[in-house]
Structure 1
């Protein structure tokens, strides 16, 4: 069994480094005191400081203090040392530190591709053959098959799911809409053409798969495409040859699809008008299905399917998002009326950004729309967004590592919450015209790349101590020592939801409930929708 970097260690810093004028914080276990910034090349001390008063940090289970060296801006490679002998990993101070990681986080989606060979030119040693090309059986209609090849593998397994796929594409398209300059340089991809940015090429690969998932007869969306069971932990995608099944149509998948297709129609129009038109047509057809099915039950796996469920008891948030995007794209009053009615419901969060609650995307679409025709509703939504951002900032102020999670939020995929919160803080700041939240966003990024109780970068291939053994079947089965780069690990999970965690992590503090082993899928799996908010957040800094 592979294990590495499992115990919390030393002084925690952003192992990628710090931009010269950004907030720079080191988290130091213990009572604190004097600390030193040391030139890692010659050992000379270049900065002295005193930590903040120590606090007991409930999430990490540590007493910690914080050393602020924001005022030091000279480029170079450094480490933090204390007078009692603690030291940090080396890091840089530079004008730019995130460009390579940003590109890797985006390139990861290429490595998640299904249905095509990943060639050595674009995939390097992580190449593999084409996979999952057989038509899928429609569950419950065994004589009917649909050719729904393509798209992205969702996570460490090879399932493909509309709902989390829509969240991932939404994050990437939002990133492009807000920070187009961050995507000026090609990755490159096989489709790179010097005309359309590569982020749009990559999203299109998923969007075209989603279009194949729309039922030709009804316009609804099949919820997912998977085998009946997960394959073994080291099975490469091309060796996963079990029969593929389309799970039944769901309202949540159809609502997400209507939303993301309407959003795509708007974003792709300047680059490929026929594709944009196909997206809008698909969105309108999905909306018609939603209108015809106002009271659909939540999706649950059929009894013989054991792959990821992505179940959801209600679909108001997906309908809210779809109405907002269709209104923003078309300006049609019927979509505005539907949005206004859904906005009055309390069944979902208006500022959540996870696959189980998509309400935040609907709120963003409405507040960013130039078609706003209900200023009172917009004002209510904006006040709520600022209130939510202020709440997250207040939690960050109290947390020992500067992030916005309460101890009980270290759940499966806690790093998605970290990044979703950072994303919300950025967009709240942008829409309100304030920079008050930016220092908190810095600390969320620092946490991802090593300023955490584990002293690890939660991104494969990046940082002095990155995760090495993610729960990701291609990384386990390809014979390459290093995992696929640019993958965001799910992160600490106090729930003890796999056998390894149950045996080895019981009694750990919430933020320390993590294991860098393939076997701990509940802490160390990877997914497209943990990478996607990371791309958006880093886009702000490149």
Structure 2
């Protein structure tokens, strides 16, 4: 099956309200449960179980006496001096590594890796009295070395078992190079621009993609591909995920996430990220946001309506793609999402020297988009859908439902009100905010609703907000964050790896990022009864999980060995870095492997191979890959990038929404 056929077959698994999916959870590919609407109250419960397997988790080998996994897991980049530092010692009980066994010694030491001086010594503390955790299949012990604050390079040692952890740093700038790599991700995802060896690295240099005949600069309406009068320029922007399509509604969400990341902490962003704009008067993150915003501008019609999607051809490398580009018609959901992105962008860009006129243009676009959506509240378009005769246009379904449109409209109203001060936006918000799930679900704060909750909190922070409305939002959110799945779980150490999620599913790493940001929001907005430091410590555990404090000892970012990771992602689903590519398949086995800094989807206990395997196709092999199949939720992961029929995309594919959520969280820990 060729790449284009595979891409057309794939579907995104939309796991949250339509208003929130673009900012948080974009799985891109594969068949997914059709029974889960965009406004579902919660994702399906994860499967669990155990199944031993001979297939290795990763092509790197963390230091351990065990054969299938690590004994001691840490954040492989390191820790901030003043924050919690807790290593986890593990003894597998169920899952693919159940044959492993590890009994921790009585004394654990933190050792300076340069001087070999022991700076801390202590006993491991059994999690939950030695019980086995169902989400990971492990027994666990904690080694709390938070008292170690001196900058340096360290490792942890079990003095009896002669087992050591990966090395890590303690430093005030420990995450700065990681954040830089994470932001550079978007440069690699750019469409329609040459990636030079000087900027991308020799291994990932590529000519500009999708600029040939009938491609992005001359795209045509999907329903009239022979009509030259429908041609328009939809060039630029970012490939959405492991596919190259560009979805307007989701793209707007990525911009909102990144704009918040910039506005939350504007002083941390460097001008040395080695992108084409580096060295100009603006921080490189803002330059990258502008690249994405410029594409959003191209998707707006003079009426204010936003075109829904641009469907691109696929090949490896991207410049080899020669197929035509087609676009979809306007829809209300994309237009509302763009109204929010334009409005927040106008606020941020308008405050920058040299960008005030750009900001003014975004303001006008935001209001035109709002006005069109108000006049056209229910214009729908489903891509890749037989009902709309749009089969093959894009991969994931970008359309949403009524609640999704409401969420986008509420968010747009917040950002437009902040920007303009006009009563029309404030009045709409005050009339409708209690229809958000935060209120409908009786103060239940959900990581699947991260973007709308952020918009609500943003409104509550405005000096011109209606006081009673602001108070209601703050109270509901603070109450929700005290609940079972948030502070109660953190205080009670419900998860031995200290980064509790109620459910693991497609895109779980993005949900981890959102959960961490939810704790950080308590600190940012001064909510709840706990001090800001406690809330930030809670948030930091979700960063540590993504950096290796998990049952696999896996850093869920690609190719991070040069930045200190001992066991980072070796391969993941992406059209460019395709399975079998001699250049880009794998960090270990290919000439180059994929670039650094791509966050993968993460553990997904709903993973399965294509229905009909093994008899469907020789590519099935004889057994479903396990892991990720049939594992405890946190072990439902494998570094693999096989396409159809093994469908690795539901586990390892990157997505811009995953990346923007991670950047937003990580940036809170950089100063």
SS in 1 for 2:630: coil
Cα distance in 2, alignment partners of residues 394 and 468 from structure 1: 35
Give the gaps of 5 or more residues in structure 2. Answer: 1-54, 62-67, 92-102, 585-590, 611-619, 643-647
Q: Summarize the Cα distance change of 1:486–1:158 in structure 2 as closer, same or farther, 3 Å threshold.
A: same
1:128 corresponds in structure 2 to: 206
Decide whether the 8 Å contact of 2:510 with 2:657 is kept in 1: yes
Cα distance in 2, alignment partners of residues 352 and 368 from structure 1: 20
2:324 corresponds in structure 1 to: 243
Question: Is it true that 1:404 corresponds to 2:490 in the alignment?
Answer: no
Question: Is it true that 1:318 corresponds to 2:440 in the alignment?
Answer: no
Give the one of 103, 118, 124 matched to 1:45: 118
Give the one of 498, 514, 533 matched to 2:661: 533
Decide whether the 8 Å contact of 1:349 with 1:360 is kept in 2: no
Map 1:106-505 onto structure 2 (within 5 A). 106-125=183-202, 126-133=204-211, 134=215, 135-142=218-225, 143=227, 144-216=230-302, 218-227=303-312, 231=314, 235-271=316-352, 272-297=355-380, 299=382, 301-303=384-386, 304-305=391-392, 307-314=395-402, 315-346=405-436, 358-372=451-465, 374-391=466-483, 392-396=486-490, 397-406=493-502, 409-432=503-526, 434-435=531-532, 436-462=534-560, 463-476=565-578, 477=581, 478-479=583-584, 480-499=591-610, 502-504=624-626, 505=628
TM-score when normalising by structure 1: 0.92
Q: CA deviation at 1:178?
A: 1.1
Q: Summarize the Cα distance change of 1:166–1:497 in structure 2 as closer, same or farther, 3 Å threshold.
A: farther
Decide whether the 8 Å contact of 1:467 with 1:516 is kept in 2: yes
Q: Summarize the Cα distance change of 1:316–1:298 in structure 2 as closer, same or farther, 3 Å threshold.
A: farther
Q: Summarize the Cα distance change of 1:375–1:113 in structure 2 as closer, same or farther, 3 Å threshold.
A: same
SS in 2 for 1:458: strand
Decide whether the 8 Å contact of 1:155 with 1:526 is kept in 2: yes
Give the one of 9, 18, 21 matched to 2:70: 9
Q: Summarize the Cα distance change of 1:353–1:513 in structure 2 as closer, same or farther, 3 Å threshold.
A: closer
Give the one of 160, 165, 175 matched to 1:98: 175
Q: CA deviation at 1:346?
A: 4.4
Q: CA deviation at 1:390?
A: 2.6
Decide whether the 8 Å contact of 1:348 with 1:359 is kept in 2: no
2:7 corresponds in structure 1 to: none
Cα distance in 2, alignment partners of residues 237 and 449 from structure 1: 29
CA displacement, residues 201-233 of structure 1 (integer Å, 9 cap, x when unaligned): 1101111101111133x4222221114xx746x
Q: CA deviation at 1:352?
A: 5.6
Decide whether the 8 Å contact of 1:297 with 1:313 is kept in 2: no
Decide whether the 8 Å contact of 1:213 with 1:222 is kept in 2: yes
Cα distance in 1, alignment partners of residues 550 and 89 from structure 2: 10
Q: Summarize the Cα distance change of 1:241–1:353 in structure 2 as closer, same or farther, 3 Å threshold.
A: farther
Decide whether the 8 Å contact of 2:299 with 2:307 is kept in 1: yes
**How many residues are aligned here?**
533
Decide whether the 8 Å contact of 2:438 with 2:477 is kept in 1: no
Cα distance in 2, alignment partners of residues 349 and 536 from structure 1: 25
Cα distance in 1, alignment partners of residues 513 and 439 from structure 2: 17
Q: Summarize the Cα distance change of 1:352–1:358 in structure 2 as closer, same or farther, 3 Å threshold.
A: farther
1:57 corresponds in structure 2 to: 133
CA displacement, residues 146-171 of structure 1 (integer Å, 9 cap, x when unaligned): 21000011111211112222222112
TM-score when normalising by structure 2: 0.75
Q: Summarize the Cα distance change of 1:53–1:347 in structure 2 as closer, same or farther, 3 Å threshold.
A: closer
| CA RMSD, Structure 1 to Structure 2 (Å) | 2.4
Q: CA deviation at 1:522?
A: 1.1
Q: CA deviation at 1:5?
A: 4.9
Q: CA deviation at 1:347?
A: 5.9
CA displacement, residues 316-361 of structure 1 (integer Å, 9 cap, x when unaligned): 101110111111110000011111122132467896676x874123
Q: CA deviation at 1:267?
A: 0.3
Decide whether the 8 Å contact of 2:304 with 2:369 is kept in 1: yes
Q: CA deviation at 1:103?
A: 0.8
Q: Summarize the Cα distance change of 1:506–1:180 in structure 2 as closer, same or farther, 3 Å threshold.
A: same
Decide whether the 8 Å contact of 1:104 with 1:486 is kept in 2: yes
Cα distance in 2, alignment partners of residues 357 and 443 from structure 1: 18
Of 168-177 and 24-33, more deviation after overlay is shown by: 24-33
SS in 2 for 1:81: strand
Cα distance in 2, alignment partners of residues 246 and 417 from structure 1: 30
SS in 1 for 2:139: strand
CA displacement, residues 86-128 of structure 1 (integer Å, 9 cap, x when unaligned): 4311112223211100111111111110011111221112111
